[in-house]
Amino acid sequence: MLRPLHWLALAGVSLSLSLAPAYAAEKPNKTTAQTQLDLYVDAREAWQLLQNHQDALLVDVRDPIEIKFTGMATATDIHVPWMLADVSAWDEKQQSWAMRKNPHFMTELLQQLAAHQADQQTPIIVMCRSGSTRSAPVVDELAKLGYTQVWTVTDGFEGDRLQTGDSKGVRALNGWRNAGLPWSYRIDPKVAWQPES
């Protein structure tokens, strides 16, 4: 079924729409979360954007190991990790395994966008764990290629850390999972990232 705007387009009416005014999460004050497009949504606004625009795509850029243990939004259309855990390298500062950039990220993401028939005006929502070091750079990479409606989810999937109490440091504030939006530990195999052989 065509939406009313589609009928206008079929009638030859030229439309130039920006979704920016309708969704306006507060601009992040973390330097790493700023994007060239300046388009920000929190998790609840991302969900609303997906509900209001059937062509909108939700892209999860987290590592598969992370998703395995924290879950994934059931609305996810595309999963391509920006960074991957490197179990052969230890990060002393983080006291964990090092993370390395996925060398095939842009190729894989562009293939997935093409498979979903996305164009440069398709609303694309990019989500990582907390909305800073992974989703924002992905938005910038897509902006360089001419994509104009790419949003970063400022509170990510897990949200911000608790600052006080017995659970201090746990990511239990805001974010997709903590907002009560649909998510699951069960990952849709049609969406799950598969490394190139």
Mean pLDDT, rounded, of the chain: 85
**95 located within any domain:** yes
Give the tens place of pLDDT for each residue, 46-83.
999 999 999 999 999 999 999 999 999 999 999 999 99
**33 located within any domain:** yes
**119 located within any domain:** yes
Look at residue 10 in the predicted model and tell me its pLDDT.
Answer: 39
**Complete DSSP assignment for 62-110:** S-HHHHHHH-EETT--EE--SEEEEEEEEETTTTEEEEEE-TTHHHHHH
**65 located within any domain:** yes
Q: How confident is the model at residue 2 (pLDDT cuts 50, 70, 90)?
A: very low
Amino acid making up residue 28:
P
Q: Tell whether the model's pLDDT for residue 18 goes beyond 60.
A: no
Is residue 168 within 8 Å of 162, Cβ to Cβ? yes
| Structural domain harbouring 48 | 17-184
Look at residue 4 in the predicted model and tell me its pLDDT.
Answer: 40
Look at residue 109 in the predicted model and tell me its pLDDT.
Answer: 98
d(CA 112, CA 59): 10
Closest Cα partner for 156 from 61, 21, 22, 37?
61
Domain count, the chain: 1
**133 located within any domain:** yes
- The mean pLDDT value for 145-161 works out to 91
Q: Tell whether the model's pLDDT for residue 176 goes beyond 90.
A: yes
**12 located within any domain:** no
**Tokens describing residue 87:** 């179990």
Q: Tell whether the model's pLDDT for residue 33 goes beyond 50.
A: yes
Is residue 36 within 8 Å of 149, Cβ to Cβ? no
Q: Tell whether the model's pLDDT for residue 8 goes beyond 60.
A: no
**177 located within any domain:** yes
Q: What is the CATH number of the domain that holds 53?
A: 3.40.250.10
Give the tens place of pLDDT for each residue, 94-144.
888 889 999 999 999 999 999 999 999 999 999 998 887 899 999 999 999
Amino acid making up residue 167:
S
Look at residue 22 in the predicted model and tell me its pLDDT.
Answer: 53
Q: Tell whether the model's pLDDT for residue 6 goes beyond 70.
A: no
Supply the pTM of this predicted model: 0.81
d(CA 22, CA 60): 22
**193 located within any domain:** no
